Amino acid sequence: MIETRGQMDPRFRRRTRTRVRYWVIVFAVTLAVITYVDRVCISQTAPLIARDLEFSKQQMGYVFSAFVLAYALFEIPSGYLGDRFGARKVLMRIVVWWSFFTIATGWATGFTSMVVTRFMFGAGEAGCFPNLTKSFTTWLPPGERVRAQGILWMAARWGGAFTPLLVVNVLKVMSWQNAFGLFGAVGVIWAVVFYIWYRDDPRDNKSIGAAELQLIEANRHLSSGHVNVPWGRIIRSKQVWLLCLQYFCLSYGWYFYITWLPTYLQEGRHLSLRNSAVLSTLPLFLGGCGSFACGTFYPILNRWTGDVGKSRRLMASIGFSGATAFLLLSTTLQDATWAMIAMGFASFSIDLVMPGSWAACMDVGGKYAGTVSGTMNMMGNLGGVVSPIVIAYILKNTNNNWAMTLYLSAAIYFAGIFFWMFLDPVTPFEEAA
């Protein structure tokens, strides 16, 4: 048997048909769940944290936003590190990093330490999905990548959906401080197992068969090296700005579900911790269903319209319109269960916009798709920075009028429709210029 630079010569690999590449999807799905558990658990423990550390709603809003600000700022740098050093080393580092600061959340003793800890936590999580996408590009043939991304985002949404129930049951046997320690430890275990198994080059995995390796490498796009990003043209691109603005509108209202929602249900709807946890699952669960439904329905819509750009604009308009209508409906319903069902369908609707947004980044960005998508995602998460703080100030100045916060989110959703009306989501920005 001949090996070169640690790689097994494909001629000597076993000829049986292997499925080793699917383990990359398993690792990605598992990490997506862990990511959202670590991200969402603070929303469920927020009332306890505010009580024990004597935080006001404004202070809690800054705690929520500290994570999102770091997540937005470090999105592009973390993706670049994956391109430079490989997903294996970078994912190992960032998962251990954010797991440590998940654990450290339980050590916070005051406002400053909590804000710093959550900011550092966000800086770690920022590299998760760009580097998982890079691993998909390396390990999966093109025909399997879209489905893998669909499974990944459904797992992420559903991981967040069931986190409230998980946290409630964990809090029955330990304090919120120890709960953060438990969730952080799970991430460390994942990082160690992933680092031992994963290789940046599939040829370095000796379990993979020759036929599977050929399938992966036959259609793999090999980068010609680093490219000089034309930042000036990107900044001047109308398409890029419209993509960023619509994603800001999408994210502003969505972040309510993973920050203030449990507090809203307990204070605004007067539900118990248990009941609020059950109803908190609806927005993220139905959001995952929305992403899956969009991916399923898009081919049908494309055949009907015969125009990819028109299909994307139509789906986005349906999504933003539905999110606006269902969120406004939730404020008129007195029964908490029905109100949350309406809010869940608002989440379902807004997730109909997600696949088209990311597909537009690939088409508009062309060979700079990573930069364009990172820019869009950064702007979207800046919406997530603003949202918790604005909600806190609205509550302070309106005597805890939760309906007013939802009215504003609905209005911002509605604005997203107009950004899509003027967006060309197909033509590369260089050609458009």
State the 10-residue block means of pLDDT for the chain, 433 residues long.
Answer: 44 60 86 84 86 90 87 80 76 91 93 94 84 75 66 80 83 91 93 89 78 67 51 87 95 89 89 83 89 79 86 93 97 94 96 83 71 81 88 91 95 96 86 64
d(CA 156, CA 99): 17
User: What pLDDT is recorded for position 325?
Assistant: 97
Our separate counts of H helices and E strands in the chain read 19, 2
AA identity, residue 303? R
Q: Phi then psi for 56, rounded to 5 degrees?
A: -80, 170
Residue 224 confidence (pLDDT): 37
* DSSP summary character for residue 7: E
Sign of CA dihedral 160, 165, 169, 175: positive
**CA neighbor of 131 nearest in space, from 250, 257, 31:** 31
pLDDT at 108: 92
Question: Would you call 4 helix, strand, or coil by DSSP?
Answer: strand
pLDDT of residue 190: 94
* Sole residue written with tokens 């404020």: 331
DSSP annotation of 340 reads H
d(CA 101, CA 91): 15
CB 320 within 8 A of CB 251: no
CA distance 272 to 278: 10
Report the amino acid identity of residue 181: G
